[in-house]
Amino acid sequence: MLQITIILLTVINSFTSPDSNNANDIVGMWLNPEKNTKLQIYKSGDKYMGKIIWLKEPYLADGKTLKKDKSGTKTILNLILLSNFVFDSDEWVDGSIYDPTSGKNYSGKITIEGNILKLKGYIGSPLLGKTVNWTKAQ
C-alpha cells in the first residue's frame, strides 16, 4: 500500500511544474527584442494591462513631436498595448493586443519562461499567430 501511495505522489508531482507561474509574475517592466521599447504590465481590477512607458526614440525627426500609431491619433508613449488579460493555469489569456504599426487589435496569449515573456498575437486560432519574446527589465 505504501508503494502505491509513493507511486501516486510521484505521478501527481510530475504533472505540477516547480516553475509554475503565479498570476502576478507578469507584473513589471519588459523590454522588446530590440531593447528600444519598455512595456509596463500592471493589474487593473482582476485583469492585466500593459502600456509603453519608455521609448529609446520617442520623438519624430523634428525632436519635438511624439511618435504616433498608424492612425495618427494615439501617441506611442503611454499607449495601452495589452488589455484585459486574465490568468488561467500558468498563462494569461482572453486579452487583446494593439499593434501601433498596423493599427490593428489581435487576440492575445502570454506565457512566461524564466525572465522571458512570450507575447502571442493571433486572429482566430493561436496556432496561426506570431510570438514576440520580451525580456524582464532590471
Domains, the chain: 21-136 (2.40.128.520)
Average per-residue pLDDT in the chain? 90
- Quote the pTM value: 0.83
Which CA distances in Å does 39 have to 3, 10, 54, 75, 77?
A: 50, 40, 7, 14, 10
State the pLDDT confidence band at 3, using cuts at 50, 70 and 90: low
Strand partners, 83: 96
How far apart, in whole angstroms, are the C-alpha atoms of residue 81 and residue 66? 17
Summarised one tens digit per residue, pLDDT across range 100-118 is 999 999 999 999 999 999 9
Residue 25, C-beta contacts closer than 8 angstroms, at least 6 positions apart: 112
CB-count burial class (<10 Å; 0-12, 13-18, 19+) for 30: buried
Looking at residue 121, its pLDDT comes to 97
Looking at residue 137, its pLDDT comes to 97
DSSP code of 100? Answer: T
Looking at residue 8, its pLDDT comes to 42
Residue 9 scores a pLDDT above 70: no
Looking at residue 138, its pLDDT comes to 80
Closest alpha carbon to 44 in 88, 95, 108 = 95
As given in the structure block, the three cell numbers for residue 115 are 525572465
- The stretch 5-18 carries a mean pLDDT of 43
Summarised one tens digit per residue, pLDDT across range 12-69 is 444 444 457 899 999 999 999 999 999 999 999 999 999 999 999 999 999 999 999 9
Summarised one tens digit per residue, pLDDT across range 66-101 is 999 999 999 999 999 999 999 999 999 999 999 999
How far apart, in whole angstroms, are the C-alpha atoms of residue 52 and residue 97? 12
As given in the structure block, the three cell numbers for residue 112 are 512566461
In the block, which residue shows the cell 490568468? 87
